[in-house]
Chains A and B, each alone.
Chain A
């Protein structure tokens, strides 16, 4: 077991997978010579050469389309889209091709492609470079969307994505790259795509998050424990397929839930979670499901405004307190 960063876990795993299977190759903007905008592909060009680490033009639709074609012919491309914001340029390829080919051609071809792409605000990158639009892909049958929040999950889930025969979008987060955690050494275990993790058990309330907000949720839960509040934390890990069972089971136990999401509230991931809870755990609900999300504005550049617009440990804690008060707990 080593303590490494989320960034390192992704890099080590990608490298190991390229060693394991020669059909695995990486492509994307500035991933070779520049070694990646976020250094996930550091050292890979030197190690594997230009054939397997391909710098692409700034043309997302083109290189994602090329990756789809390569995957249909037996390769396993791992495409880096520099940030999820730029994936919009490849939206047609992802939604109308990657997601549809298996079904539309009667299963003759799979698309075993991985798109790695970070989302997330908080870096003062402005409104167009700070979005959390994983929902656009989570909405589409035929795609798998996973969102690890820890280094260990980043490793196990990237492995799972590369070995999966369907197109998988792996959501990274700018705010998580430097987070550290234990990762098993020489691990070859593969995460099950579509499984949420109960990262902390508790009986008082369920806090549900994914990606950066799953990490925040764990921190909040630790602080709540000091107040005597025993929160259960669910890290969704997979946005499609969605592990409704784990959510329903938890809320059936705790009777209340707060969803923490980095995307916008209206029509967001939290709305789907809230609907899942009322469908599956209605008779166990003691309070309305609360959602903590980003303010519904294009994310401001100015630091104080950006901070104010993003969901935080404070806003999550407040929502948990208010929900617990609504079910008769004396808190905060």
Chain B
């Protein structure tokens, strides 16, 4: 008997909707088989089985929303096995016997080892990828599993940041409270008749069913705009050289099927300049400032269900042509709802371009935990004073939204100044 839990498919996911079941009760399931499609706050994803067996319960119906960690289905050994009763309590602990010793040598203080003494003797073991494993108490790990929380996402309040029971319970409580905005009406998702009822508010309104992505986007945007103190820096750049530069690149690429857009050049320029402005490539999280060593640029893409921000990782290290290809691939996946969680996470800075929609300039909402987002307006021919003469030049209006907790005005301005200079002398993008 294996219970299947609502997985965490993205770092901001708190709940998911079972879009559709691919397996029916009684079906045989092998590892790798698609069990269901799950809609998260960012995408619709196929969810595969890890275990072998027969699906003996669809614990959640199609269209229903459940939190991470909730049981969504049960695999049994035979097609007619009976699903277990919920609320299983762990068996009583074995109290004696062959202890599986994981003990680390503990060269303690001679008398009363304060925790620190014991802990310094045990260096934190790096996990496989070289990142330090978070300190967690056994109880916290067990509770996190029970609650279906990812313990690595939970800040620890214990000694040296150890995650303890109190942290898990706090995280679980927060999860309980947060979805209050969304999940209640979630049951009334797509075809629920209630959603079609006109709302009697004198405006002849009717409630329209919304996707999970829309709901989560709405909630997060409210949180961001209320919780992150934004300020805005505007600057218009002369884009003549950039136009010329792009033409040259695309001439070179002719026949390869690749093409570089202005946005690709702006992404690359931003990444290059961020390398010299680490304060902008940062996050303000839990009263702590993080400077990120990697430069991962999110590129906002509008899709039918809402807004998604796939990430071009290590954009500062990629040639412009690769950024172009990668952006196009990600945008395509975004429109098809096929982005993988890792393709939407880890961003350190974002670029949002509404130029193709004819917008002159706009102020974007920061995509946390990033500290800034660059809003790019349309390229326009404008009368510009140049050497005392009014001339027609192509220009682009840039507007940088900045998290004032992480970045001060002068720091943001210096970044934007250098970005403008690089875009006006675009050879600097590549050299």
Asked if A and B are interacting partners, one says yes
The answer to whether residues A285 and B139 also contact, given A265-B112, A292-B112, A293-B112 and a CB cut-off of 8 A, is yes
Q: Which of B93, B97, B113: most chain A Cβ within 10 A?
A: B93
A208 to B43, CA, bound (A): 52
| CB nearest neighbor in A for B110 | A296
B80-115: CB near A (< 8 Å → 1, else 0) gives 000000000010011111010001000010111111
Instruction: Answer yes or no: A283 CB below 8 A from chain B CBs.
Output: yes
CB neighbours (8 Å) of A255 from chain B are 139, 165
> How many pairs of A and B residues are in contact by the CB < 8 Å rule?
93
Query: Closest approach, in angstroms, between the C-beta of B367 and any C-beta of chain A?
Result: 31
Instruction: Answer yes or no: A88 CB below 8 A from chain B CBs.
Output: no
A285 to B97, CA, bound (A): 18
A279 to B97, CA, bound (A): 8
**Candidates B103, B138, B162; contact of A326 at CB < 8 Å:** B162
Task: Kindly identify, within residues 21 to 53 of chain B, every residue whose CB is under 8 Å from any CB belonging to chain A.
Answer: none
Task: Kindly identify, within residues 288 to 310 of chain A, every residue whose CB is under 8 Å from any CB belonging to chain B.
Answer: 288, 290-296
Q: Could you tell me if A265 and B162 are in contact, using CB atoms closer than 8 angstroms?
A: no
A279 to B90, CA, bound (A): 16
Instruction: Answer yes or no: A73 CB below 8 A from chain B CBs.
Output: no
A287 to B137, CA, bound (A): 6
CB neighbours (8 Å) of A315 from chain B are 112
Q: Could you tell me if A283 and B95 are in contact, using CB atoms closer than 8 angstroms?
A: no
Chain A interface size, as a band, is 35 or more
Task: Kindly identify, within residues 127 to 142 of chain B, every residue whose CB is under 8 Å from any CB belonging to chain A.
Answer: 137-142
Q: Could you tell me if A285 and B111 are in contact, using CB atoms closer than 8 angstroms?
A: no
Instruction: Answer yes or no: B118 CB below 8 A from chain A CBs.
Output: yes
Instruction: Answer yes or no: B198 CB below 8 A from chain A CBs.
Output: no
Instruction: Answer yes or no: B197 CB below 8 A from chain A CBs.
Output: no
CB neighbours (8 Å) of A276 from chain B are 95-96
Q: Could you tell me if A287 and B158 are in contact, using CB atoms closer than 8 angstroms?
A: yes
Q: Could you tell me if A286 and B96 are in contact, using CB atoms closer than 8 angstroms?
A: no
Q: Could you tell me if B118 and A283 are in contact, using CB atoms closer than 8 angstroms?
A: no
Query: Closest approach, in angstroms, between the C-beta of A295 and any C-beta of chain B?
Result: 5
The answer to whether residues A280 and B139 also contact, given A265-B108, A326-B159 and a CB cut-off of 8 A, is no
CB neighbours (8 Å) of B113 from chain A are 265, 290-291
A288 to B93, CA, bound (A): 18
Q: Could you tell me if A275 and B99 are in contact, using CB atoms closer than 8 angstroms?
A: yes
Q: Could you tell me if A244 and B95 are in contact, using CB atoms closer than 8 angstroms?
A: yes
Query: Closest approach, in angstroms, between the C-beta of A228 and any C-beta of chain B?
Result: 16
Query: Closest approach, in angstroms, between the C-beta of B23 and any C-beta of chain A?
Result: 32
Q: Could you tell me if A326 and B94 are in contact, using CB atoms closer than 8 angstroms?
A: no
Q: Could you tell me if A280 and B138 are in contact, using CB atoms closer than 8 angstroms?
A: no
Instruction: Answer yes or no: B384 CB below 8 A from chain A CBs.
Output: no
Q: Could you tell me if A280 and B95 are in contact, using CB atoms closer than 8 angstroms?
A: yes
A228 to B389, CA, bound (A): 79
**Candidates A244, A286, A293; contact of B111 at CB < 8 Å:** A293
The answer to whether residues A244 and B96 also contact, given A255-B165, A288-B118, A327-B165 and a CB cut-off of 8 A, is yes
Q: Could you tell me if B167 and A322 are in contact, using CB atoms closer than 8 angstroms?
A: no
A122 to B159, CA, bound (A): 34
Instruction: Answer yes or no: B166 CB below 8 A from chain A CBs.
Output: yes
Q: Could you tell me if A279 and B99 are in contact, using CB atoms closer than 8 angstroms?
A: yes
The answer to whether residues A328 and B167 also contact, given A279-B95, A286-B140 and a CB cut-off of 8 A, is yes
Q: Could you tell me if A286 and B165 are in contact, using CB atoms closer than 8 angstroms?
A: yes
A145 to B323, CA, bound (A): 75
Q: Could you tell me if B138 and A283 are in contact, using CB atoms closer than 8 angstroms?
A: yes
Instruction: Answer yes or no: B9 CB below 8 A from chain A CBs.
Output: no
Q: Could you tell me if A319 and B112 are in contact, using CB atoms closer than 8 angstroms?
A: yes
Instruction: Answer yes or no: B164 CB below 8 A from chain A CBs.
Output: yes
Q: Which of B95, B114, B141, B162: most chain A Cβ within 10 A?
A: B95
Instruction: Answer yes or no: A245 CB below 8 A from chain B CBs.
Output: yes
Instruction: Answer yes or no: B222 CB below 8 A from chain A CBs.
Output: no
A329 to B103, CA, bound (A): 26
Instruction: Answer yes or no: A248 CB below 8 A from chain B CBs.
Output: yes
Task: Kindly identify, within residues 151 to 201 of chain B, every residue whose CB is under 8 Å from any CB belonging to chain A.
Answer: 157-159, 162, 164-167
| CB nearest neighbor in A for B99 | A279
| CB nearest neighbor in A for B136 | A286
- A-B pairs with beta carbons under 8 Å apart, 19 shown: A265-B110, A265-B112, A276-B95, A278-B103, A279-B97, A280-B96, A283-B139, A283-B141, A285-B137, A286-B140, A286-B165, A290-B115, A296-B111, A311-B112, A319-B112, A326-B158, A326-B162, A326-B164, A328-B166
In the A-B complex, the 3 residue pairs with the closest CB atoms: A328-B166, A280-B95, A286-B139
In the complex, besides A283-B138, A328-B167, 4 extra interface pairs with C-beta distance below 8 angstroms are: A244-B95, A255-B139, A287-B137, A295-B110
